[in-house]
Structure 1
Amino acid sequence: MSEAGNQNHSDGPADPPPGNGAPPTGPQGYGPPREDEVSLLDILLVLARHKTLIVRTVLVFTLLGVTYALLASEKYTSNARVVREAQSEGGGLPGGLPGGALSGLGISLGGGASGLTPAAYPDVLQSREVRLAVVRDTFRFPDAERPMTYVNYANRPSGMLSTILKYTLWLPWTLKGMLGDAISDTSVTAGRTDTGEPVVPSEEENSALKSISGKVSASVNEETGLMTISVTASGPRLAASLANSFLRHFSKRVREIRTEKVRERLQFVEGRFEEAEQELENAEERLAQFLERNQNPTTATLQFRRDRLQRQVSFKEQLYSELQSQLTQTRLDLQRRQPVVTVVEEPVPPMSRASPERTLIVFFSFLLGGFLGTGLAFVAFLVRARKEEPEQKKKVDEIRKAFSPDIYWNKLKKRIAGTGPE
């Protein structure tokens, strides 16, 4: 046997030469991929086989996006900017006298702190008192024939299209609103009247308060100290009108809160001033009557009574003078505290709508349909492969088992019982 024969016999069969129908193998070969590899051609093949499903899913979601973009009501946002002024609280008597100068006379004027800081202004804007005052105002709505209050507009009968959308596309939000109405308390007060009685909103006003609460927002720029009030509505003029109403009632409410203590002090001083004025008149009347009956008192008793009446008149005059000065000072203090909010930018009708952004809605609906259609295509491929090919069935079962929650649940139970791995 020749050396070449021995060489071939020891090395085993040689690799088949190229060109006999078998592709070369090895790191540089172009043979078929291994079973655990997925090539780009396989992915494209799955997409090609289920192109109809993908196209239909994209068309359905795009149609839904176009429908929503066309049916969604247009929203306009009007902005106003105000400066939140932090004013110092003052007190005391005129002329630099301490606040306790009249304490010996039974008068307590109290402090001047209002309990309101400028950082609380956004909460004041969203308060029930401000919103209740706004919903009671009259506005001209784009879809209404005549001006009406926001309460009447919010409680008007819904149209056919609104009713259909309410119980179809907006059904989750409708159920959420019904649940909120069922558990909400309708007896919450919204401030007090001038006589001190609580203001309880009606059922219609409560509905309007919930409707308008999502239309107004406030943001504060800590660097510039400006507060921006944004109001969104279905029309540009309506948005500006609502913003003006919010701004007006917000400023009024802030003035009421900041001047509450001063107004209480003014009311107290006015009451004591009227009492002191009446007491002074009575003391002067008693002294005048005594002098008329005793024009030239000679006895010690008459002189003592005259001196006592004169001291009473002098005391009442001093008290009257101090209270009159305090009344004037309190009125000036109340007037000085009035302008606590300065409007920097008045609300005007916006030139362009804030929503809906129809192009973005259609674009994202198209993308969502594409992603979902691709996912459905691979799911359909796996289901079909699981039924037809045993090897593919094993792979699908292994994937399902790997992501099954039972595995993690069993591990958790073992760890709780102390038998699982640490």
Structure 2
Amino acid sequence: MENKVMTQENDQDDEISLVDLLIVLARHKKLIFGLPLVFGILALVYGLVATPIFEAKTTILPPQQQQSSASAMLAQLGGLAGGAGAALGMKSPNDIYIAMMQSRRLEEKLLEQFKLQSVYEAKTKGDALLTLENNSKIVASKDGLISITVEDKDPKLAAAIANAYVVELRNLSKVLAVTEAAQRRQFFEAQIVTAKKDLAEAEVALKQLQEKTGVLQLNEQGKVAIEALASLRAKVSAKQVQLNAMRNFATENNPELQRAKAELDSLQTQLTDMSKGGEENEDVLIARSKAPGIGLDYIRRMRDVKYQETLFELMSKQYEIAKLDEAKDGANIQVLDSAIAPERKAKPKRAILILLALFAGFFLAILASFILEAFNKMGTNPEQKQRLDLLKNTWKGVA
């Protein structure tokens, strides 16, 4: 019974009540109130003497049709526009414009225009670029707008840099748009030369056969079958052209490239099935002709001509689209809000700075109070004092 009573007394001694905590804080009330006050005064002084930082912001609306313009190079090839356009950029147009503004090429233009290496007192161009990146914030909102925020101790310079981002983006967009269109024009220009040559050869071969054997009259069903087969063959060739073009900017793991390959496989399967039916139609036409051998040659020659005509027409359309794109100006980027020199500083924010300093000082004061209280108790407890002396002696011996 006595042991139980002693155990309860020991438990009560070990318990720490709220009153005990308040007593500890009351003993160190000067520290509790003094340290936050010191921190607050230091924060106020810093807020008064620190160099003010100003923030300028401009908002732009990039052209949302830019991605579809890039995919227009294959718009007439039967479902190719979506594949090529998406493969040109897996991200949204806004992400592309943000990446352009964060590119080294554009940032170096700003460095040269405003002599930022000297303004930032940077030792190297790389340090100046890093400072510019840290001072600039470019984000896209859900409503499709892009905001460009620049911080600097000079409010006029901050506004000028923010507006210069838009100017350089327009210049870079023009250069890249013309370059991409020129590459497409050159590509389809070469394809047209080949297609035109093949078409001329097919027409000559058909004409020579007609002059040699006479014109073979085909019924309407035969003409439709030949034209359908030639058209499908041209689509297969066009799809192969698309794949070759997409491989210039997409990997084999690109989903749009894989989709195009699946479409090519489907077209080739249709071509195989139609070719079998075409052979049956050819057999009927040949059997009705007076000279079966001549009929076979005539049908093949006519089919080659129809195929080359369809392919040449597809390539010509894409060539004209590329020429129009090459003649266009760069993207029409609209500015909703131009950056103006701010009148009020953005940093440092004195109120927030002082509140954070007061909170930090109060927290450290409480922590220091309990540490001091623990050391005081250790000094009055013989056993704890002996351990503390041992710690001091050990520390001195190590030192």
Length-normalised TM-score, structure 2 = 0.52
Letter in 2 for 1:115: L
Kept in 2, the 8 Å contact 1:114–1:260? The answer is no
- The yes-or-no answer on 1:350 pairing with 2:342 is yes
Residue 176 of structure 2 aligns with which residue? Answer: 257
Q: Distance in 2 between matches of 1:387 and 1:112?
A: 78
**Match of 1:215?**
135
Assess, with a 3 A threshold, how the Cα gap between structure 1 residues 266 and 52 changes in structure 2: closer, same or farther: same
Cα displacement string for residues 134-169 of structure 1 (whole angstroms, at most 9, x for unaligned residues): 11113xxxxxxxxxx21222237xxxxxxxxxxxxx
Q: Which residue of 2 aligns with 1:126?
A: 102
1:226 aligned to 2:145? Answer: yes
The answer (yes or no) to whether the contact 1:132–1:209 under 8 Å persists in 2 is yes
Structure 1 unaligned residues grouped into runs of 5+? 1-32, 99-110, 139-148, 157-202, 273-323, 398-422
1:382 is matched by which residue type in structure 2?
A
Cα deviation, 1:24-63, whole Å, max 9, x if unaligned, reads xxxxxxxxx9313334443332223222333442243223
Listed one character per residue, the Cα deviations across residues 188-228 of structure 1 (whole Å, up to 9, x for unaligned) are xxxxxxxxxxxxxxx73222111111111122122x21111
d(CA) in 2 for partners of 1:270, 1:375 = 78
Aligned to 1:379: 371
**Which residue does the alignment assign to 2:47?**
69
C-alpha distance in 2, partners of 1:92/1:366?
Answer: 64
- AA of the residue aligned to 2:116: Y
What's the offset of the Cα at 1:337?
5.5
Corresponding pairs, count: 243
Give the Cα–Cα distance (whole angstroms) in 2 for the partners of residues 271 and 245 of structure 1: 39
Aligned to 2:58: 80
Distance 1:77 1:129, change over 3 A: same
Residue 21 of structure 2 is matched in structure 1 by 43
Contact 2:178 2:325 in 1 (8 A): no
The structure-2 alpha-carbon separation of the partners of 1:346 and 1:155, relative to structure 1 and needing over 3 Å to count, comes to same
8 Å CA contact 2:150, 2:162 repeated in 1? yes
Q: Do the aligned partners of 2:40 and 2:358 also contact (CA within 8 Å) in 1?
A: yes
Does structure 1 retain, via aligned residues, the 8 Å contact 2:177–2:326? no
**Superposition map of 1:240-251 within 5 A:** 240-251=159-170
1:417 corresponds to: none
Task: Give the Å deviation of 1:332.
Answer: 3.1
CA offsets 1:391-422 (integer angstroms, 9 cap, x no match): 9x59x99xxxxxxxxxxxxxxxxxxxxxxxxx
Deviation (angstroms), 1:258: 3.5
What secondary structure does 2:339 align onto? coil
SS of residue paired to 1:62 = helix
- What is the alpha-carbon distance in structure 1 between the residues aligned to residue 97 and residue 64 of structure 2? 11
2:15 alignment partner, SS class = coil
CA deviation profile, 1:108-151 (whole Å, cap 9, x unmatched)? xxx9999345132222221111111111113xxxxxxxxxx212
Matches within 5 A, 1:286-301: none
Distance (whole Å) between structure 2 residues aligned to residue 121 and residue 355 of structure 1 = 28
Cα separation, 2, equivalents of 1:352 and 1:256: 37
Could you tell me how far apart the structure 1 residues matched to 2:359 and 2:121 are?
39
Aligned to 1:103: none
SS of the equivalent of 2:88 reads coil
Identity of paired residues, percent? 25
- Match in the other structure for 2:88: 115
SS at match of 2:162: helix
Change (3 A) 1:137 1:266: farther
Q: Is 1:365 paired with 2:357?
A: yes
Q: How far apart, CA to CA, are the structure 2 residues paired with 1:262 and 1:125?
A: 21
Distance 1:380 1:271, change over 3 A: same
Matched letter for residue 128 of structure 1: R
Deviating beyond 4 angstroms after TM superposition, the runs of 4 or more aligned structure 1 residues are: 111-114, 265-272, 324-331
Task: Measure how far apart 1:388 and its partner are.
Answer: 0.7
Quote the RMSD (CA, aligned, Å).
Answer: 3.8
Q: Is the 8 A contact 1:112 1:261 kept in 2?
A: no
Q: Quick check: 2:173–2:331 contact (8 Å CA) kept in 1?
A: no
| TM-score, structure 1 normalization | 0.49
Task: Indicate how the Cα distance of structure 1 residues 44 and 245 shifts in structure 2: closer, same or farther if over 3 A, else same.
Answer: same
Cα displacement (A) at 1:379: 0.8
